Amino acid sequence: MDNKVTEAIVLAGGFGTRLKEVVHDVPKPMAEVNRKPFLHYILQHLSLHGIKTVVLSVGYKHEIIQDFFGSHYLQMDILYAIESEPLGTGGAIKLALNQIKNDQCFVLNGDTFLDVDFKQISTNHNGACTLASVQIEDAERYGTLEINEQNQVLSFKEKAAVTTGWINAGVYLLDKSIFNQVNETTFSFEKTILPELAMQKQLTAIKCEGYFKDIGIPEDYFQFQKDNYKELTELGIDKSWTLFLDRDGVINERLIDDYVKLLNELKIIEGVPQAVAAFNKLFNRIVVVTNQQGIGRGMMTADDLEDIHGFIANVFEGYGGKISKWYFAPQLRSENSNYRKPGTGMGLHAQRDYPEIKFSKSVLIGDSESDIEFGMKLGMKTILLTNSSNVSTKADYIFKNLQSVANALKTDIK
């Protein structure tokens, strides 16, 4: 983003009353979409557009949201404004603004997704608030906007039986100053602030044509799931992509309650060298990220690990495969180091070494949920290797082994 607006507020305190029949016991933004919460897709979009800090305005069962996203997600700082009681959308924004450092920020509804160019909004920002508007065929559910030729919002028309109209899509760029004279703590942003700004000719609308979906009703929730699922072969993987591999359980057989400390304990999984060679033809580079707390526990040395990785690399090269670099985390689990998965340290280290790596064009393959969480935090596509298709996982895809992944990608395995 060329503009300086790198902060956003996401209103994530919704109960999801109309979704109760299909989404149970979680805040509405945590409704599962292809094994990930709906809120993940909003945060992913913000991250891809250069947002650095997000304040999540939360209330109902906020612990679920905090436990999932933590304080860092998709390379963004995540802060929380917690409502002890419902404050309305206006009160929620006002509370969250206490953690916004700059004079302007984006505000988004946590139950709607809009594929919007945030740069377009900031470039055309005029007045105290600019909102994104989309045109939909059945606008009865929302109410419509009256917009003049100068893109000023003149009025809000109540929900009525209309076919096509421009609606408020729930994405705003606003000046913090619009709340300076508001003394209430509980109020509606849409009913209290926006109409007043429209009367003052301080509300601008940007007409957007990007994909829009409000998951407030089951029909649209299910449609969003369908719209956001892609088969592995539909991702468009090419030489601009990077493959991240876990080691134990992915490249070599995992030892139960032990570590591969010496070469005589190493057993490369059948078909892995051929799969890695096939991946090399598709991906720009392959890196390995592996937790190795056996070093931290004094059961092996970094030199022992280097010998093991050197041996594996030689085997791969015999089949035409190559690993660009091996990253390992020797820290103990008890240290809670960000370098150790599910922390993102090894991924960020790889990006420093190879600046062309884009996590949005990366795939992580692992055999544990800590691997999957590592990939998710960085915005990668994730694959879990398991023999069970019914396992509970947040991974995007499930496969049996690396060979089956290579076969699915229709690579040339020899």
What pairing do the DSSP bridges indicate for beta strands 36-37 and 32-33? antiparallel
Per-residue tokens: 286: 């392959």
Q: Is 84 exposed, middle or buried (0-12, 13-18, 19+ CB in 10 A)?
A: exposed
Contact 154, 148 (CB under 8 A): yes
Element (H, E) at 45: helix 38-48
Per-residue tokens: 216: 């407030």
Residue owning tokens 């070469």: 263
133 secondary structure, DSSP code = E
387 secondary structure, DSSP code = S
Residue owning tokens 């076919």: 163
Element (H, E) at 57: strand 53-58
Torsion of CA 166, 171, 173, 177, to 10 degrees: 100
- Which one is catalytic: 246, 304, 371, 396? 246
Amino acid in the structure at residue 288: V
Contact 366, 246 (CB under 8 A): yes
Contact 12, 58 (CB under 8 A): yes
DSSP string, 182-215: ---SS--IIIIIHHHHHHTT-EEEEEE-S-EEET
Q: Convert 375-413 to b/e letters by CB count within 10 Å (16 or more is b).
A: bbbbbbbbbbbbeeeeeebbbbbbbebbbebbeebebeb
> Of the candidates 188, 45, 201, 181, which has an alpha carbon nearest to the alpha carbon of residue 112?
45
Per-residue tokens: 24: 């149970």
Mark whether 246 is an active-site residue: yes
Amino acid in the structure at residue 394: K
- Which one is catalytic: 117, 175, 248, 307? 248
Per-residue tokens: 276: 């890695």
Torsion of CA 213, 219, 221, 222, to 10 degrees: -120
Which residues does residue 172 pair with via DSSP β-bridges, in sequence order? 107, 131
Amino acid in the structure at residue 65: I
- Give the residue numbers annotated as catalytic, written as ranges: 246, 248
